[in-house]
Structure formats: C-alpha cells, structure tokens
C-alpha cells in the first residue's frame, strides 16, 4: 500500500518540527513542495536528503497524473507547504481530495454501486504540527471552545457580507490577513463590529512575535502609530 503523508512544517521558528515529521521526510521516496527553495531550508537543517518536486496552486493536471502514477507504482510521498499545515489555506486540499476520489471512490456525489476499477490502495496520513490558526488561538486569551476559521477574507465580492456575519457571530472568528491589507481590514472591523474584542497575532514563533488585544479602533490606532508593526504575518481573532 502506498502512503501519502501530509506533513506540517514550522511557521517561523525552525525548531517547531516534530520527530515524526523529520522521520517521515527522511523515509519517503519524494517530497512534494509548494516551493522547493523554501523547503530546502528545512531539509538542510535536519539533514534530510530526499528528492523534491514542486506542487503548488498553479500546478497543472499533468502534475496530478504524475503523482497518481507514482502512487500506483507503490511510492510513498510527503506533501509539505511553505509553512504550517498543508491544506489549511495552502495548496494540498484539492490534491488530497483528488487522491481520495481516485483511490478510494469516497467522494460525495458518486452514487453508491458505481463500478470502479480496483487500484492500488493509498493511505493518506496526517503528520500534525504547527498551524498559525491554532497557535494564535491557543495564546490569544479569547474563547476557543467554539470557533469558525475563515481562511483569507475575500478582497471584493462577499467581503461586506462576511463582516456583517462576523459582527453577528456568537462564536470566535479567526482569519488570516496579509500585511498590506491589515489596516483596511481593521477599518472594516471598526465599521461593522466596533464593540468586539480583537486579537491580532503577528509573526508567531518568530523574533518579533506579538499579540495585541483590544477594540478594533484601539488596534487600528496602535498599528497606525507604529508602522513597523504593520509588517509580517498576521492571524486575526475576533470574539
């Protein structure tokens, strides 16, 4: 049986990798990377000599066919993204779905009893580890017993509706944001949910890691007064 591992890698601090992730990356036949140059930094640090190929959001169907072929040949593969858990706002979710569709025929919408050709079995195995959404929630101090993860917010269509949804939400809401949109997003939070508590988690696990909690206008003022704090990677939590 071929194995297809989904391997989480650090979101900043290179020490945040599990022993199992290292063992898996060493043992597989091939590592599929979002960006091979990024992944090579980790591979070099942990003395991992496994071959790599790229697999990213723009990868063509031919690449997926190549991956199918390798699995059919009995090869074990690992999928990594540039940072964190593959498939969480990162390439990979679609590939896992396609693998399950091809090798398991378990996808919703396929009528039961549909004749299938028996293919080699492929086991999809998660190797859990860092993910910015969980790291941010865990140290935010905001309620974590129930939350909704929104990934990246849409830039245009559906954006206002989503902010209205956030304003009316009973659960904690979490999303990813880029440095060049963080002010715009906070302005929208000031407009749509001025009384909600916001926690902005910046540069998690890195030297300039910072959590800032307050009302949307307080966080916006803070970032405007401190332009250097507008840089880096952001995860935003609202409660």
Catalog residues that contact ligand SAM under the rule CB under 6 A: 11-12, 81, 83-85, 88-90, 131-133, 176-178, 201, 203-206, 233-235
177: which strand partners? 234
Q: For the CB of residue 90, give the shortest distance to ligand SAM in the complex, in Å.
A: 4
> Which helix (H) or strand (E) is 163 found in, with range?
helix 159-168
Q: For the CB of residue 130, give the shortest distance to ligand SAM in the complex, in Å.
A: 7
Q: For the CB of residue 152, give the shortest distance to ligand SAM in the complex, in Å.
A: 7
Crossing angle between the packed helical segments 159-168 and 182-192, to the nearest 10 degrees: 50
Residue closer to ligand SAM (CB basis): 38 or 72: 38
Q: For the CB of residue 28, give the shortest distance to ligand SAM in the complex, in Å.
A: 19
Residue closer to ligand SAM (CB basis): 99 or 237: 237
Residue pair 155/161 in contact by the 8 Å Cβ criterion: no
Residue nearest ligand SAM, CB atom distance:
84
Q: CA angle, corner 164, sides to 163 and 169, nearest 5?
A: 95
Residue closer to ligand SAM (CB basis): 163 or 211: 211
Residue pair 24/5 in contact by the 8 Å Cβ criterion: yes
Residue 12 CA to residue 130 CA, distance in Å, equals: 9
Residue closer to ligand SAM (CB basis): 165 or 209: 209
């Amino acid at each position: 049986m071929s194995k297809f591992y989904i391997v989480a890698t650090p979101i900043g601090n290179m020490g945040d990798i599990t022993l199992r992730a290292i063992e898996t990356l060493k043992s597989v036949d091939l590592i599929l990377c979002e960006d091979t140059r990024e992944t090579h930094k980790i591979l070099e640090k942990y003395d991992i000599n496994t071959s790599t190929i790229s697999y990213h959001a723009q990868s063509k169907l031919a690449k997926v066919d190549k991956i199918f072929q390798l699995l059919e040949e009995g090869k074990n593969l690992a999928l990594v993204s540039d940072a964190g858990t593959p498939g969480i706002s990162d390439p990979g979710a679609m590939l896992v779905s396609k693998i399950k569709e091809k090798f398991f025929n378990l996808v919703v919408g396929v009528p039961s009893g549909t004749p299938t050709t028996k293919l080699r079995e492929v086991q999809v195995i998660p190797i859990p580890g860092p993910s910015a959404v969980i790291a941010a929630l865990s140290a935010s101090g905001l309620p974590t017993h129930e939350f909704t993860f929104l990934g990246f917010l849409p830039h245009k269509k559906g954006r206002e509706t989503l902010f209205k949804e956030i304003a009316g939400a009973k659960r904690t809401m979490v999303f990813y944001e880029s440095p060049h949109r963080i002010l715009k997003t906070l302005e929208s939070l000031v407009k749509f949910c001025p009384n909600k508590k916001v926690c902005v988690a910046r540069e998690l696990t890195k030297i300039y890691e910072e959590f800032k909690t307050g009302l949307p206008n307080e966080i916006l003022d803070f970032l405007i007064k401190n332009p250097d704090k507008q840089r880096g990677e952001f995860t935003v939590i609202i409660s």
